Chain A
Amino acid sequence: MNKDFDVIVVGGGHNGLTTAAYLAKAGKKVLVLERRYLVGGAAVSEEIYPGFIYTVCSYVVSLLRPEVIQELELYKHGLHLLPTDSGFIPMENGDYLARYPDHARSLDEIRRHSLRDADVHDEFDNMLYEIAFAVKPILGYTPPNLTNPGLSGTQTLNRFRKHLQSLGKEKFHWFTKIMTMSVYDFLSEWFESDVLISSISLNGIIGTMLGIKSPGTAYVLLHHYMGELDGAYSAWASQKGGTGGVSEAIASAARSYGSEIRVNAPVKQVIVKNGRAIGVALENGDELYADIVVSGADPYVTFRKLVDEKDLPTELVESIDNFKFRGSSGKVNLSLDALPDFPAMKDKSLMQGGIYICPSTDFMEQAYDDAKYDDFSKRPFLECVIPTAVDPSMAPPGKHVMSIFVQWASYNMPKYGDRDQQREAFGNAVLDTLAEFCPNIKDLILHQQVLTPWDIEDSIGLTQGNIFGGELTLDQLFFFRPAIGWADYKTPIRNYYQCGSGTHPGGGITGGPGRLAALRILKDGA
């Protein structure tokens, strides 16, 4: 069979594009096939309502790996990150908690809520920072195969051990706590201010079907801290023109190295012959052949849809079927006639950062309780960002767009009727909750887009709408992502690789899986 390409990447999400860019840079003839009309997967900007650009799904960049930015020279290709380093949390009694870009001012603000918390805050930060610094290098390692680590796997494990040993006794103690506790319990050992605990705890539950009191969530907090470590490169930021710009930048880099990218080209199946991937069959009937096929889709699509069960060992099929996707978040995008008014917000510069509806820990836990039973939160936790407050290019002059990340919502919510009815009920709950803290929001809405987890699956292709391509919980990380024995980007099918967010180091706009997968493919002598 004549090959058309050296490598075909299935799925033009940001990780697929990253793999393509690295392989093309190494001289491979690469083709990326994207089902939709644009690349980016969950990191796309789309003009759904004329003149207003939505960051449809993912809306902040924090964990984009610095080595990816550097090695692909993404700034040359339009990467342009605008920091969103303030935070505003309105409370139910009309008060608020704010975080400012200026550290002293932030401490002053915490002091207003608890003198004790302000005093201990820096110590807490340092503790987490140090643990994150020790653990962070694992984000750049290929997970070793625990059952058969080999030389390089043993080296990786050894390096990991060294990093942990560098923590010292006291920090190691905190490390073990952070790996096991709930984010609420962990924070309660340090802080007394309820709204402060609530505001930090949200980092423990994003993208998971877990509440702030569920064990294991403290680790997710650490995961987010690792992003802050590379603050220089990425901090918490939004991309100019929306997160689609990050995907566009990576795509532009890939093209500059000679990779071809085809949109509107859905792949039906990976063609496997004698246990070896030899190409792909497109939905339009075309067949394309290559030495290597890489899937940028999530593990469910990679193993359960693109290939046939008979080509895989039963244990792996079982593992993938047990892998937790459980979409838990939705998204509401608004076009606004003017900046919304939060009566509790005294300093309007806080509009430029995150606005978090998480007024208390009870509010957060209650929101999770509602959603446990095939439902959405009656008063959901919301993370609102108004990208136009810093980037006027996303809406007409004087107008704004608002991105609202919502948690929690279940994949199935049959009690509300069909999918349209579910979406409507969910959207109403979001806007009603927001209106409690921002009374004029409904009057300003020119257009709204509501996405339930089901919509995210339907439009982006993420199984059950899980934004991380599989939950980021301890049992699904590193060696376990997506399955033990298959965390090194390979699959049981020869020449068939995986590079999506469902592999290490996982979800968010990181480019990490894409880069490590490319390096693995090159190392295997492709």
Chain B
Amino acid sequence: MKPTPFHPRTSELLDSYDWNEWSGWLSANVYDLNPTHEYLAIRTSCGVFDTSPLYKYQIQGRDALKLINRVITQDVTRYAVGKSMYSPWCDDKGKIIDDGIVAWVDDNSFRMTTAEPTLFWLEDNAINLDVSIEDITEAYAIMAFQGPYSREVLKRLTKADVNGLKYFSLMDIELAGIPITLSRTGFTGDMGYELWVEPDKAVALWDAIFEVGQDYRIRPFGDYALDIARIEAGLLLAKVDFNSSTKVMYEHEKSTPLELGLSWAVKLGKDYFVGQKALIKDKKVGLKWNTVGLEVDLKSLESIYAKYGMPLSLPYRSWGEAVPVYSQGKLIGKATSGTWSPMLKKYIAIARIKPQYAKLGNQIEMEVTVDAERHNAKAKIVKMPFFNPSRKMS
């Protein structure tokens, strides 16, 4: 596995020896054995996550906008230079391939981050278009700098108008003398930024942020903490909450963005995009699945443990192996990820269920296993995001 440009610092701080593999790169699960502290940095002070392994593409040329608009489900024409957008993209059958952030950096220039390699797909769709597509994955390191104090730290390191940078906007600035692209985006559902920097300046950027960040109890955070935060934020994770249609073999393993609750990011009325027809039809016929938030009833869960003479036990680390969801004993779908929310003091989960059961407040059941025996704990359908502080967009 390869070290990212931040590796000299991340490896120094990683007391746990707990790395995982992310697209061939070393990525931290947790730095100091207790993810809760890292999670709390995201929610109460500020934290840094090394997101360098994301695939990155630069799309340039006269038809760059045309290509992007053909591939993604969002309508790029509603945006402008200096803005970025979240969007899924689909295959011809309207099944989701991947999702990511598209940033409009200059008149004829876009940057795209994706979870899966996407060069082939972009080139495939660029036939007859005047556009160049470049894989810039290794040309930049990205640091996600998230948390309510992230802005205060940045403001002390630059003269640029950090306050003026709106949610889902970006600008090129100098931070502590280092040229970076500052983007007001993130995967935590909190106030936060993503910083693009050239690899040879990554360590210097890290050091500058951590030096000032000390005053605000900055921490590096890993996957475990990020996963708790992103579930609270109701953000779906590829390979966990959905599969890429190009990576699985059977239809039932695939989903449309509408089934995933992403209809707000699917502009069916815009010019042609891949999967448009299929999605319009799907919507007309009616969705097979709805994606909903679940809140597990703690009293019900407690009573299951009580049968074993055990106190209530909760998932302090998020889980991502799907479990069945029932309505009065009848199978209606699956919960794809879940966690104890330290912020809300609730056990929350993201689930995909049949639409007729998806009404807010509906009582259903989720399978839990105690001592290798199966039980159904009561749960109810709740609104997502579970946690949505006003500072996220302020």
Chain A residues proximal to chain B, CB less than 8 Å: 66, 69-70, 74-75, 79-83, 85, 100-102, 105, 133, 166, 229, 232-233, 240, 349, 352, 388-393, 397-398
Contacts and interface: CB of A to CB of B under 8 A. Distances in A.
B311 interface: yes
Interface stretch (B119-127, B188-196, B209-217, B243-251): B209-217
A75 B33 contact: no
Nearest to B309: A166
B353 to A, nearest CB: 25
A391 B148 CA distance: 11
B370 interface: no
Contacts of A392: 45, 149, 215-217
Interface string B22-65: 00000000001110110010001100000000000000000000
Contacts of B40: 82-83, 390
B78 interface: no
A69 B32 CA distance: 29
A232 B314 contact: yes
A79 B314 CA distance: 19
Interface stretch (B99-107, B320-328, B339-347, B355-363): B339-347
B253 interface: no
Contacts of B316: 232
The 8 closest A-B pairs by CB, nearest first: A101-B34, A102-B33, A397-B215, A398-B215, A232-B314, A392-B216, A75-B344, A392-B217
A239 to B, nearest CB: 11
A69 B215 CA distance: 32
Interface string B202-243: 000000000000111100000000000000000000000000
A390 B41 CA distance: 8
B312 interface: yes
Contacts of A82: 40, 44
Given A390-B45, A392-B217, A83 B37 contact: yes
A69 B299 CA distance: 13
Contacts of A352: 37
Interface in B303-318: 309, 311-312, 314, 316
Contacts of B217: 388-392
Given A83-B37, A133-B311, A349-B32, A390 B344 contact: no
B130 interface: no
12 contacts: A66-B298, A70-B298, A75-B345, A83-B37, A101-B33, A102-B33, A349-B32, A388-B217, A392-B217, A393-B44, A397-B152, A398-B215
A388 to B, nearest CB: 8
Nearest to A339: B214
A391 B45 contact: yes
A349 B16 CA distance: 14
Of residues A80, A133, A232, which shows the largest number of chain B Cβ atoms within 10 Å of its Cβ?
A: A232
B216 A397 contact: yes
Contacts of B152: 397
A82 B219 CA distance: 15
Contacts of B33: 100-102, 105
B345 A233 contact: yes
Interface residues of B, number: 26
Given A75-B344, A397-B152, 10 more contacts: A70-B298, A75-B345, A75-B346, A232-B345, A240-B44, A352-B37, A389-B217, A390-B40, A392-B149, A392-B217
Nearest to A235: B36
Nearest to B316: A232
A388 B149 CA distance: 13
A240 B41 CA distance: 12
A349 B311 CA distance: 30
A85 B34 contact: yes
A192 B309 CA distance: 32
B345 A398 contact: no
A80 B309 contact: no
Nearest to B214: A398
B206 to A, nearest CB: 19
A232 B309 CA distance: 18
Contacts of B216: 392, 397
Contacts of A166: 309
B36 A229 contact: no
A100 B34 CA distance: 9
Contacts of B214: 398
A101 B311 contact: no
B215 A229 contact: no
A70 B344 CA distance: 10
Contacts of B346: 75
Nearest to B46: A392
A54 to B, nearest CB: 18
A102 B314 CA distance: 17
Contacts of B36: 83, 101
B215 A102 contact: no
A366 to B, nearest CB: 35
A106 B345 CA distance: 26
A499 B258 CA distance: 52
Contacts of B342: 81
A75 B346 CA distance: 9
Nearest to B340: A232
A429 B343 CA distance: 39
Contacts of B34: 85, 101-102
A392 B342 CA distance: 19
Contacts of B298: 66, 70
Given A83-B37, A397-B215, A398-B214, A390 B44 contact: yes
A240 to B, nearest CB: 6
A231 to B, nearest CB: 9
B29 to A, nearest CB: 14
Contacts of A85: 34
A64 to B, nearest CB: 10
A162 to B, nearest CB: 12
A101 B216 CA distance: 21
A80 B44 contact: yes
A281 B73 CA distance: 68
A295 B36 CA distance: 38
A516 to B, nearest CB: 18
B18 to A, nearest CB: 11
Nearest to B345: A75
Contact of B345 (A69, A388, A389, A397): A69
Given A392-B216, A397-B215, A101 B37 contact: yes
B377 to A, nearest CB: 15
Contacts of B32: 101, 349
